[in-house]
Structure 1
Amino acid sequence: MRRDTFLKSLAALAATGGLPLAAQAAGVPMKMMIPANPGGGWDTTGRALGKALQDAGAASSVQYENKGGAAGALGLAQFVNASKGDPHALLVMGAVMLGGIISGRPPVSLTQATPIARLISEYNVYVVHAASPLKTMKDVIDQLKKDPGSVKWGGGSRGATEHVAAAMIARDVGVDAAKINYVPFRGGGEATAAILGGNVTIGGSGFSEFQPYLDSGKMRALAVTAPTRIKGLNAPTLKELGINVEIGNWRGIYAPPGISAEQRKALTALVVQATKSKSWAESLEKNGWTPALLAGPEFDAFVDREFATLRAIMVKSGMI
Structure 2
Amino acid sequence: MTFFRSRLAAAWLIAAGAASFAPAAMAQDLELTIMAPAGAGGGWDSAARALQEVMMSTGNARSVQVVNVPGAGGTVGLAQFVQGAAGSPNQLLVGGITMVGAIITNKAPYDLTAVTPLARLTGDPLVVVVPASSPYQTMSDLMEGIKGDVERTIWAGGSAGGADHMLSALITQAAGADPAKVNYVAYSGGGEALAAMLGGQVTAGISGYGEWQGQIESGDLRALAISYPEAIEGIEAQPLKAQGIDIELVNWRGIFAGPGISDEDKATLEQAIAKTVESPEWQDLLKARGWSDYYAPSDEFTAFIASESERVTSILTSIGLAE
TM-score (norm 2): 0.83
Deviation at 1:71, TM superposition (A): 2.1
Within the alignment, does 1:289 sit opposite 2:281 as a pair?
Answer: no
Residue 83 (1) aligns with residue 88 (2): no
Question: Alignment RMSD, CA only?
Answer: 2.6
Q: Which residue does 1:167 correspond to in 2?
A: 169
Per-residue deviation at 1:271? Answer: 1.2
Q: Letter of the 1:288 partner, please give it.
A: G
Counterparts of 1:234-245 in structure 2, within 5 Å, are 234-245=236-247
Give the letter aligned to residue 101 of structure 1: I
Mark the CA change 1:63 to 1:190 in structure 2 (over 3 Å): closer, same or farther.
farther
DSSP 3-state at the match of 1:135 = coil
- Check whether the contact 2:24–2:268 (CA below 8 A) recurs between aligned residues: no
Answer whether contact 1:39 1:189 (CA < 8 A) is retained.
no
Q: Which residue of 2 aligns with 1:9?
A: none
Partner of residue 64 from structure 2, selected from 62, 78, 92: 62
Which of 164, 177, 180 pairs up with 1:178?
180
Match of residue 100 from structure 1 = 102
State the shift of 1:40 in Å: 2.7
Overall identity of the aligned pairs, in %? 42
Residue 26 (structure 1) shift:
5.5
2:27·2:61 contact (CA, 8 Å) conserved in 1?
Answer: no
In 2, distance between residues paired with 1:131 and 1:174?
25
Aligned residue number for residue 19 of structure 1: 23
Change (3 A) 1:34 1:191: farther
Q: Distance in 2 between matches of 1:197 and 1:78?
A: 38
- Between stretches 270-279 and 47-56, larger displacement belongs to 270-279
Does the CA-based 8 Å contact 1:18-1:263 persist in structure 2?
no
SS at match of 1:93: strand
Aligned to 2:12: none
Summarize the Cα distance change of 1:229–1:298 in structure 2 as closer, same or farther, 3 Å threshold.
Answer: closer
Cα deviation 1:252-292 (Å, max 9, x = unaligned): 10112232222122111111121123321111111232222
Q: Contact between 2:181 and 2:319, CA under 8 Å: does it hold in 1?
A: no
The correspondence for 1:277, drawn from 263, 270, 279, is 279
Give the secondary-structure state (helix, strand or coil) at the position aligned to 1:92.
strand
Name the stretch that deviates more: 272-281 or 126-135. 126-135
Cα shift at 1:117: 0.8
SS at match of 1:86: coil
Inter-CA distance 156–266: structure 2 relative to 1 (3 Å threshold)? same
| C-alpha displacement of 1:193 | 4.8
Query: Is the CA contact 2:169–2:315 (under 8 Å) kept in the aligned structure 1?
Result: no
- Amino acid paired to 1:140: L
CA distance in structure 2 between the partners assigned to 1:82 and 1:196 by the alignment:
42
Q: For the Cα contact (< 8 Å) 1:167–1:319, is it kept in 2?
A: no
- Shift in Å, 1:53: 0.9
Unpaired segments of 5 or more residues in structure 2?
A: 1-19
Report deviation, 1:74. Answer: 1.7
Deviations 1:197-247 (A, max 9, x none): 544332212222221221222222111123333322222332344433222
Of stretches 262-271 and 189-198 in structure 1, the one that deviates more from structure 2 is 189-198
- For residues 226 and 96 of structure 2, the distance between their equivalents in structure 1, rounded to whole angstroms, comes to 19
What does residue 138 of structure 1 align with? 140
Q: Partner of 2:150 in structure 1? A: 148
| Matched letter for residue 115 of structure 1 | P
Consecutive unaligned residues in structure 1, runs of 5 or more: 1-15
Choose from 281, 297, 306 the match for 1:304.
Answer: 306
- SS of the counterpart of 2:62? strand
Residue among 222, 225, 240 paired with 2:224: 222
How many Å apart are 1:153 and its aligned residue? 1.6
**Number of residue pairs aligned between Structure 1 and Structure 2:** 303
Partner residue, 1:33: 35
User: Take 1:55 and 1:317, find their aligned partners in 2: how far apart are those partners?
Assistant: 44
- For 1:82 and 1:183, locate their aligned partners in 2 and report how far apart those are by CA, in whole Å: 34
The one-letter code of the counterpart of 1:200 is V
Whether the 8 Å CA contact 2:24–2:265 is kept in 1: the answer is no
Q: 2 CA distance for matches of 1:19 and 1:110?
A: 25
Q: Deviations over 1:71-108 (max 9, x none)?
A: 21122122222333332111111122112222221122
Amino acid corresponding to residue 184 of structure 1 in structure 2: A
Structure 2 contact 157–205 (Cα < 8 Å) conserved: yes
Instruction: Supply the distance in 2 between the matched residues of 1:80 and 1:186 (Cα, whole angstroms).
Output: 25
Query: What is the distance in 2 between the residues matched to 1:189 and 1:53?
Result: 30
In 2, Cα distance between equivalents of 1:168 and 1:34 = 28
TM-score (norm 1): 0.84
Change (3 A) 1:50 1:300: same
